[in-house]
Structure 1
Amino acid sequence: MKTILKTALIVFFIVFTSDGFSQRKTKAVVMKKTPRTKVVYKTPYRKIKTIRTVPKPTIVIRHKGANIYFANNRYYRLNGGRYIPTIPSIGFRISTLPAGYRLVNFNRHRYYVFNGVFYVKKNDEYEVVNPEIGTIIYELPDDYEKVTVNGETLYEHNNILYEKVQVDGTRAYEVVGTIEN
């Protein structure tokens, strides 16, 4: 009887005090919606590179009363006679995904991710959405920014906050929240 009780206590201790059975190692920072005033950027000002003409071929998509130009797997908007690289906003729809997208499954969602933009399929189109908290990606876009929120170092891209985690010994990034404007 003592041996059984001792074994049960050891198993209980191992299961509930170690994360040996967990595949993902994380600090479990859950931010959900964070006001922009609580986000501190490592680099307070970002240099924006503009171009005079959009590369050909160009697809023009009308969204919320403005033209968005898609060329060379990038989105642009016209501002003062120059084109500024942009990120499509939530609700933006396209008929064809950019070349090089990655498929990410989380819960019951199938996300198509390209350059930090998450799409879901709606009928015959793909709509830009915010991913669910807990979604894991393995690579951040080139233009992510390092930020601090409540003393925690996170990564931000397109108003989505990520935390660096380990998944099966590989570096990954978990969605921990979004920034409210």
Structure 2
Amino acid sequence: MKTHIKAYVLASLFMVALTTQATAQSRRSSTTSKTVKTTTVKRTTTSKRIPSTKVTYKKPTKKVISVRTVPNRTVIKHNGQNYYYANNKYYTQSRGRYIAIAPKIGFRVSVLPANYRRIQFNNRNYYNAQGIFYIQVNNVYEVVEPEIGTIVYELPNDYEKVVIDGLTYYEYANILYEKIQYNGTRAYEVVGIIDVQ
């Protein structure tokens, strides 16, 4: 009788040990698969809109590019004001000179600037040219703000480094980017928009 009880207890303990080991292995494998799927550790801003008062530029003054004339320019009217487009740049006129600017949200052009890149994000087609995002509206292209999470592989030459809450980002045309690794390549992800106040 003692032999049967010992055999029964040993068999029960053996079954409990196997069950515990199988449970532990399944927990370990589910944790491992989650770790493998994570390829990039990102810092993200908590909000899409960042007040300009929270943004500190690394350079104290921004380089302003101005020219005396803009040959072969196209005039673009936006909110009752004339803007000028030539050589893949937008200009505004001030004191007899033309100052290069990033186009305002809502600008519409009939032809995209040269060297644009098509970017697909959240089932939406963007066209990015020199850091400016466009979408097609009927037969024209309108300047828009990109969605948070949109990824580009290069920034315009005149981007600015900024600091927000102690973290460094890249800014162009009030769009904030964070440098990331995406599919093994350096890229920049849109993480916010600066609200100019």
Question: TM-score interval w.r.t. the shorter chain?
Answer: over 0.9
- Distance change in 2, residues 1:179/1:119 (3 Å): same
Shift of 1:172: 0.7
The partner residue of 2:184 within 141, 160, 169 is 169
Write the mapping of 1:1-181 to structure 2, written as runs, cut at 5 A: 1-16=19-34, 18=35, 20-55=36-71, 57-181=72-196
Shift of 1:73: 1.0
**In structure 1, what is the equivalent of residue 11 of structure 2?**
none
SS across alignment from 1:142: coil
Larger radius of gyration: 2
- Quick one: percent identity of the two aligned structures? 49
1:24 Cα deviation after fit: 4.3
Q: Is the contact between residue 29 and residue 163 of structure 1 (CA under 8 Å) also seen in structure 2?
A: no
Which string of whole-angstrom CA distances, capped at 9 and with x for unpartnered residues, describes residues 154-181 of structure 1?
A: 0111011111111011111111111111
* TM-score, length-scaled by structure 1: 0.92
Q: How far apart are the structure 1 equivalents of 2:50 and 2:65?
A: 28
Structure number having the greater helix percentage:
2
Task: For structure 2, list consecutive stretches of 5 or more residues without a partner in the other structure.
Answer: 1-18
CA contact (8 A) 2:45 2:192 kept: no
AA at the equivalent of 1:130: E
Unaligned runs of 5+ in 1: none
TM, length-normalised to structure 2: 0.85
| Whole-angstrom CA distance in 2 between matches of 1:59 and 1:23 | 45
Q: RMSD between aligned alpha carbons?
A: 1.4
Q: Size of the alignment, in residue pairs? A: 178
Deviation above 3 Å: which 4+ runs of structure 1?
22-25, 28-31
**Contact between 1:144 and 1:156, CA under 8 Å: does it hold in 2?**
yes
Answer 1 or 2: which has greater strand percent. Answer: 1
Higher RCO (C-alpha under 8 Å, 6+ residues apart)? 1
